[in-house]
Amino acid sequence: MAGINQGVISNNKAIEIYQLHKWFRDNHVLRGLDLTIQAGTATAIVGGSGTGKSVLLKHMVGLLKPDAGSILVFGQEITNTSGRKLEDIRRRFAMVFQGSALLNSLTIEENVGLGLVEQRRLIRQQIEEVVREKLTLVGLRGKEKQLPGELSGGMKKRVAIARALAMDPEIILFDEPTTGLDPVMAEHIDTLIADLKNKLRKTAIIVTHDMDSAFRIADHICMIYEGRIIEEGTPAEFRNSQNPIVEQFISRFKRQGAVKAP
């Protein structure tokens, strides 16, 4: 029986998407996309540039509304939800945006604590404590008073992850977390994301076109192509896919990687 010993945390569905369609004018980006994300797992969504990966993420948090289809978060339909109820669902998510999206005029600790200050649920001392804890977790203790401009791209990404964690979300979405980072830094970020799932039991969804990264961190890999998920499975299953589009995507990535390697 599949059980705790195999590291299967639960069979709860964090997100279910059925027949999702999205148009931007005459650009039919999502074309009947189906996808299920299990809670407590790390799922990588891969695919070429412009295939709708970021658009899909934005639908999951309710930042974009679909033209057709259904999106359930922990069993609750969000496509026809708004106001307070949508806010409650959104609180269960945090998103790490592609460019880190830090406020340059605020210090690192202010950036990490910003969401908590806005929520007004904790007193200052408690916020400082959470900020310190999360900065320690991402290996940036001691950088509290620095400004984003003083940090490398990889460090900024870690601040963005600390900020997401400060909100104590159940699901964390990462949009291209390793893009623009050197290979060593990319591996650090991947390790950090894997730890979030393994140690903190978070559900992680990682959108990436970096297959190395996907193979490193994901329990489950899905490939988006022409608006649908055309292949999904464990990294091993994905690597052995007989689908020519998947094979081509993986081999093209390998070739590009080989060219870039020192």
Ligand X SMILES: Nc1ncnc2c1ncn2[C@@H]1O[C@H](COP(=O)(O)OP(=O)(O)O)[C@@H](O)[C@H]1O
The residues of the shown chain that bind ligand X, judged by CB under 6 A, are 24, 27, 29, 47, 49-55
Nearest distance in Å: CB 207, ligand X: 7
Partner touching 227 among ligand X, Mg ion, none, CB below 5 to 8 Å by kind: none
Nearest distance in Å: CB 94, ligand X: 19
Among the residue ranges 46-54, 79-87, 185-193, 241-249, the one whose residues contact Mg ion (CB under 5 A):
46-54
Partner touching 43 among ligand X, Mg ion, none, CB below 5 to 8 Å by kind: none
Nearest distance in Å: CB 255, ligand X: 20
Instruction: Tell me whether residue 5 or residue 49 sits nearer to ligand X (CB atom).
Output: 49
Partner touching 148 among Mg ion, ligand X, none, CB below 5 to 8 Å by kind: none
Instruction: Tell me whether residue 40 or residue 47 sits nearer to ligand X (CB atom).
Output: 47
Partner touching 52 among Mg ion, ligand X, none, CB below 5 to 8 Å by kind: ligand X
SS (H, E, C) the chain: CCCHHHCCCCCCEEEEEEEEEEEECCEEEEEEEEEEEECCCEEEEECCCCCCHHHHHHHHCCCCCCCEEEEEECCEECCCCCHHHHHHHHCCEEEECCCCCCCCCCCHHHHHHHHHHHHCCCCHHHHHHHHHHHHHHCCCCCCCCCCHHHCCHHHHHHHHHHHHHHCCCCEEEEECCCCCCCHHHHHHHHHHHHHHHHHHCCEEEEEECCHHHHHHHCCEEEEEECCEEEEEECHHHHHCCCCHHHHHHHHHHHHHHHHHCC
Residue from the set 38, 54, 178, 203 that interacts with Mg ion by CB under 5 A: 54
Nearest distance in Å: CB 120, Mg ion: 33
Residues that bind Mg ion in the complex, under the rule CB under 5 A: 54
